[in-house]
Amino acid sequence: MKEIKILYLYPDILELYGDYGNIQVLKYRIESRGYSVIIDTYSIGDDSPDFNSYDIIFAGGGADNEQNILASDLIKYKDNIKNAVENGVFFLLICGAYQLFGKYYKDVDGNIIPGLEIFDYYTEANPDRKNRCIGNIVIEVNLNNFKTNVIGFENHGGQTYNISSPFGKVLFGNGNKFKDSEEGYFENNVIATYLHGPLLSKNPELVDYIIKYCLDRKYNEDISLVSLNDEFENMCRKQLLNRFLNNIT
C-alpha cells in the first residue's frame, strides 16, 4: 500500500490556532484514498530526525516567546533541512515556522532570532504590540496553473520582506505586511504562509495538491486522486467567500 510519511515539528511549542488540525486533515484525505500515513513528531530533546526520509515536514505557528525557545534547537538542523528542501521534500510552514525559515525574525521586543536562512526573506515585528495583522484572509493561489482562492485567518505582528515568490495575491486581509498585495512564500515543494484556520480544513484543493505532489514524487507516477465528497467544505467556502469578497452575509 502506498504511504505518506509526515514529520510534525515542535507540536508542543508551535501550536497556535489549532494548526495541528492541518495534520488531521492530511491524515483524513490520505486515508480516504486508501493510502496509509505515518506521522512522527520531533521536539526539543528528541533524537535527531532524518528529514530526507519524510514526504512532508510540517510546523505551525507560535508566539514570539515560543519562537525564542526553539530557535537554538531548530538551527542545529539548518543543513539537514536545507538538503531536504533541495531534494524536494514538501514543507508546510505556518506563521511562526514560516518566519524562522527566513534570514531572521526580529521580535516585538527587538530581539533578533536567527532564522535557518533557507529563504532570503526576513521578518520584523511591528513594535506596537497592540497593532497586529489579525483577521480573516483570502488569497488567490496558482497551483500548477490551477487558480483557486485560499481562505484562512491571520494573527501576526511580524512583517515579512524580500519575498521573491509569494504564495498568493491578497484578495481580502493583510498578507505578508499590513495591507500587502502578497501573502506567504511558495516554491514547488514549499508552502510558507500566515494562514491559520487551520489552513487545510477550509481548502481541500490545497490538501490534494500536497498529497498528489508527495505521491508523484515518491512513486514516480502521475497519480489521479479519487474525488472525495467535499460538499460540506464547498458549502463553507461559498459562504465565507461571499462574506469576505462580496460582502454578502
Residue positions annotated with a catalytic role: 95, 196
Say how far apart CA 145 and CA 166 lie, in whole Å: 15
Nearer to ligand GLN, 9 or 143 (CB): 9
Report which residue's Cβ sits closest to ligand GLN.
61
Question: In 3D, which of 80, 3, 73 has the Cα closest to residue 38?
Answer: 3
Angle ∠(223,3,148) on CA atoms, nearest 5: 50
Question: Residue 203 carries which side chain, given as an amino acid letter?
Answer: N
Say how far apart CA 86 and CA 126 lie, in whole Å: 32
Nearer to ligand GLN, 158 or 204 (CB): 158
Nearer to ligand GLN, 29 or 156 (CB): 156
Residues lying near ligand GLN in the complex (CB under 6 A) are found at 16, 61-64, 67, 95-96, 125, 155-158
Measured in whole angstroms, how far is the alpha carbon of residue 82 from the centre of its chain?
Answer: 17
First and final C-alpha spacing in the chain: 45
